[in-house]
Amino acid sequence: MKKTPIYILMMLVALACNKPVTTSQCNVLPLPQSVELSNNEFVLSKATEFVVGAPENDKRILEDYLKVAFGALENEQKSNRVKLVVTENIEGISSPEGYSMTITPKEINVTATSGAGLFYGIQTILQMAGENNTLACGTITDEPAFAYRGMMLDVSRHFFDKEFVKKQIDAIAHFKMNRLHLHLTDAAGWRIEIKKYPRLTNFAAWRKPGLWKEWWFGDRQYVNEGTEGAYGGYYTQDDIREIVKYAQERYITIIPEIEMPAHSEETLTAYPELSCTHEPYKQADFCVGNEKTFEFLENVLSEVIELFPSEYIHIGGDEAGKASWPNCPLCQKRMKDENLKDVNELQSYLIQRIEKFVNSKGRQIIGWDEILDGGLAPNATVMSWRGTEGGLAAVNSGHKAIMTPGAYCYLDSYQDAPHTQPMAFGPYMPLEKVYSYNPIEGIDEEKAKLIYGVQGNLWAEYIPTEEMVEYMVYPRILAIAEIGWSNPAERNFSEFRERTITSVEWLRAKGYNAFDLKNEFGQRKEATMQWNNLAKDKNISYNNGMLYSNSYTAGGDEALIDGVHGGWTYTDKKWQGFICGGMDLTIDLGEEKEITAVHADFMQMCIPDVWMPAEVTVSLSSNNIDFETVAEIKHNVVRDEELSFKNYGWKGDTAKKARYVRYTAKSGKQGGWLFTDEIEIN
């Protein structure tokens, strides 16, 4: 038996309530701006005629796409038709990517002011048609909220070939995304052929065999192309042309990123004369004092600009250590000559000079938000990743910003309970968290116009395989797609999740290794409810000046006795963090109580330096002077790669009377973090 399509069920419900089926009920992702559906149907079949009226290039692109998307279109019998036409303007639509669509039983009529708009209309048809090839009749008026809707793929830490990149272009285009940012260069390997500098690809693109983490935490050696077992690869210039063309035919712009002045160990090992000390394997930052650096970067960028028609070229700019610059005579001379007061201004000198060069070729630069340090280049667009502050600073000074804050948009973090997932880099960031992001929240209307868009980033340090890329990207990138396209007022997570489950099925059927959202494990159980115990809402004091960090207060002094547990990540504002060597606190129960247990949970996540305690003590007192130690626990803290949780405390065979309970924990690693979420006394 055929399943009844979901929209028909929705229409039946809506009809029963005497309401038209509207935007939030249509099974399209990203959610269109405005939808009105009725209970008539249009059925796509082999006898459906497709007619495209568009400028020549778009007509060719769209007809080719329709052939692949809908199968053979050459049938003589014509029972109904889909008409796609570019017109000059469309009422109610201001974006060139918007489209308007009317669906009657005999015809689907899509109009747009560009080929891109028609392409997005086609995606809506594909999604509405579903498995039954049946669309509800009605009208849709649709356009994106943001002009830039992007995904970044890090192809340096692990390399993914052109066919794989093309496969991802197909998927993100289906969800109306329009930018693919390729992180082409980084310490782990240079990934684009540059004719003038062959060592970038016959040496700096290859490393000793193995995964990134083995290489990074090992000897970090590069090897020559052709070395047995070498790990790496790169795109030839022909590969790049092929990717760019493939993307253009799906209305996606590829944005190349060439890192500078930092993340350049591979370049500075291939061409050590471009670093301050001229020693291979020693530097991550280019020498900004050396004219050869500019000659190199401009030569590279000239070839890059030839290959990529994108208006924007990403020039990196993040995480420069700047450590060699203060001791480098050339950098010091540059600072003196240019009247630069510190190394931030020296970095800004490089970015501004590169911007001038890129502008002279008719292009613009994007940089990570560190390009704000030392003064922003006059025409630069800022990609805000260390939070939203960089983006806000950019728009406040009249620059465009692309929002990709790590806490919402870094797709290399855990998407489900960490113990159920493969090793990931960042904290727990499920679909719901990504979806909760609003790039213009708190920004006034005028400034919000400078928010160019939003991007999801897949860094690949811990993503060694294609399967893993897809697993981490899908479906969370769909949340980014919807943030970038749809009206925030219409967004509703549980309804989005349902549409995403349908999209996951579609992705899996198409051969993408999407995460199985339907069987998501979900949040840490402890964090989903209030917990009562003797300590709750009593008095807590922090001893010996061992206070929690201002960065991780979890709400302040009461946080560890408020009955609220943390979730899978210490960044959820429910975990209190200590960086002062440990914690030492006393809870005053107000009067003597019978106590049988005192305990607290800790987490360990070694990559961001979060460790289990090495020592825990629990002691009890009736007068806050004389304490009896009831537990003294030593724990051999060892580095591991998993996120883990452990409960430390005392459990008595018989109850003890006490009013004051002191709990101390010593950090498992000197200088490392200690995180706990609640002290429980029973």
- Shortest Å, Cβ 369 to ligand ACM: 8
Q: What is the dihedral of CA 568, 569, 573, 579, to 10 degrees?
A: 130
Nearer to ligand ACM, 255 or 564 (CB): 255
Examine residue 385 and tell whether it contacts ligand ACM (CB under 6 A): yes
User: Distances from the Cα of 328 to the Cαs of 331, 349, 455, in angstroms?
Assistant: 5, 16, 37
- What character string, x for contact with ligand ACM (CB under 6 A) and - otherwise, covers 311-340? -------xx---------------------
Q: Are 66 and 48 contacting, i.e. CB atoms less than 8 angstroms apart?
A: no
Q: How far is the CB of 180 from ligand ACM (least distance, A)?
A: 16
Q: Check if 186 is active-site.
A: yes
Which two structure tokens, joined as six digits, stand for 342?
């510190």
DSSP 3: P
Give the whole-angstrom CA distance, residue 188 versus residue 463.
13
**Is 607 among the residues that bind ligand ACM (CB under 6 A)?**
no
Q: Find out whether 301 and 282 touch, Cβ atoms under 8 Å.
A: no
Whether residue 261 is preceded by a cis peptide bond, meaning omega within 30 degrees of 0, is: yes
- Least distance between ligand ACM and beta carbon 336 (Å): 30
Question: Could you tell me where the beta strands, DSSP code E, fall in 565-668?
Answer: 576-578, 582-604, 613-621, 627-634, 644-667
Residues 482, 503 contacting (CB under 8 angstroms): no
Could you tell me the smallest distance in angstroms from the CB atom of residue 455 to ligand ACM?
Answer: 11
Comparison of 203 and 385: residue with beta carbon closer to ligand ACM: 385
State CA 537 to chain mean position distance. Answer: 38
- For ligand ACM, which is the closer residue by CB, 115 or 367? 367
CB 325 within 8 A of CB 284: no
Residues in contact with ligand ACM, counted by CB under 6 A, come to a total of 4
- From residue 45 to residue 74, what is the string marking binding to ligand ACM with x (rule CB under 6 A)? ------------------------------
- Assess contact for 280 and 272: CB atoms under 8 A: yes
The one catalytic residue in 158, 174, 183, 263 is 263
- Active-site residue, selected from the candidate residues 319, 505, 520, 615: 319
| Minimum separation from the CB atom of position 383 to ligand ACM (A) | 8
| Nearest residue to ligand ACM on Cβ basis | 318
Tell me whether residue 107 is exposed, middle or buried, using C-beta atoms within 10 angstroms of its C-beta: 0 to 12, 13 to 18, 19 or more: middle
Are 290 and 274 contacting, i.e. CB atoms less than 8 angstroms apart?
yes
Q: Of 170 and 318, which CB lies nearer to ligand ACM in the complex structure?
A: 318
Task: Write the CA distances from 675 to 441, 573, 611, integer angstroms.
Answer: 30, 11, 8
- Distance of closest approach, residue 154 Cβ to ligand ACM, in angstroms: 9
**Whole-angstrom Cα distance, residue 628 to residue 619?**
5
Determine which residue in the list 368, 435, 515, 648 makes contact with ligand ACM, applying CB under 6 A. Answer: 368
Which residue lies nearer to ligand ACM by CB, 50 or 385? 385
Adjacent-strand bridge partners of 254: 180
Q: Which helix (H) or strand (E) holds 494?
A: helix 493-509
Candidates 256, 183, 268; CA nearest to 220 is 268
Environment class of 28 (CB within 10 Å of its CB; exposed 0-12, middle 13-18, buried 19+): buried
Residue 385 or 575 having the CB closest to ligand ACM: 385
- Residue 557 near residue 540 (C-beta atoms within 8 A): yes
Task: For residue 263, indicate whether it is catalytic.
Answer: yes
Name the residue nearer to ligand ACM (CB basis): 107 or 318: 318
CB 370 to ligand ACM: min, Å? 8
Q: Which amino acid is at 351?
A: I
Quick one: 404 or 569, whose CB is closer to ligand ACM? 404
How many degrees, rounded to 5, is the angle at CA 293 between CA 290 and CA 294? Answer: 105
* 387 lines the binding site for ligand ACM (CB under 6 A): no
Residue 319 annotated in active site: yes
CB of 600 to ligand ACM, least distance (A): 32
- Which of the residues 186, 239, 249, 266 is marked catalytic? 186
Report 262-321 residues binding ligand ACM (CB under 6 A).
Answer: 318-319
Residues in contact with ligand ACM by CB under 6 A are 318-319, 368, 385
- Any idea which residues carry the catalytic annotation? 186, 263, 319
